């Protein structure tokens, strides 16, 4: 049955999408990995993903495809930076994000305001 499905996938119009999706599984996970929201990836291979994970991956892929090209490149750069982090750094980021998620909404808003203020201060002034 698997062989028949593969053959049918490769011949159908939908099959092209599935093949592209298989080749770019890491792209579907970019949105997650490009933010501190990234959780450890349990499956790196399309065949290892369950139905919900495949659905989420496809949704992520289509969302990525709808982004403007500059935004796509920005997401891809962030993902490359994420990949370059050590496992310890990734674990620390995940842990911090989980801690942030557990904050009460009021504390999250206060944290967000502080973060935005910090971002503005760390940006160079606009040219005259």
pTM of the predicted protein model? 0.51
Q: Measured between alpha carbons, how far is residue 104 from residues 25, 99, 109, 110 in Å?
A: 34, 10, 9, 10
pLDDT (average), residues 83-89: 94
**Cβ distance 76 to 30 under 8 Å?**
yes
pLDDT (average), residues 45-53: 87
When pLDDT is cut at 50, 70 and 90, the band that residue 119 belongs to is confident
Among residues 48, 2, 6, 8, which one has the least CA distance to residue 25?
48
| pLDDT of residue 103 exceeding 50 | yes
Q: DSSP E strands: which ranges in 1-128?
A: none
């Amino acid at each position: 049955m698997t062989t028949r499905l593969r053959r049918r996938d490769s011949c159908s119009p939908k099959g092209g999408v599935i093949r592209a999706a298989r080749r770019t599984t890491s792209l579907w996970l970019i949105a997650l990995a490009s933010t501190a929201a990234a959780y450890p990836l349990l499956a790196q291979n399309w065949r290892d993903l369950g139905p919900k994970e495949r659905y989420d991956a496809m949704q992520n892929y289509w969302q990525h495809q709808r982004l403007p090209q500059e935004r796509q490149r920005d997401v891809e750069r962030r993902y490359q930076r994420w990949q370059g982090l050590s496992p310890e750094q990734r674990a620390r980021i995940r842990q911090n994000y989980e801690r942030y998620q557990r904050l009460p909404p009021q504390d999250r808003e206060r944290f967000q305001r502080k973060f935005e203020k910090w971002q503005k201060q760390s940006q160079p002034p606009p040219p005259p």
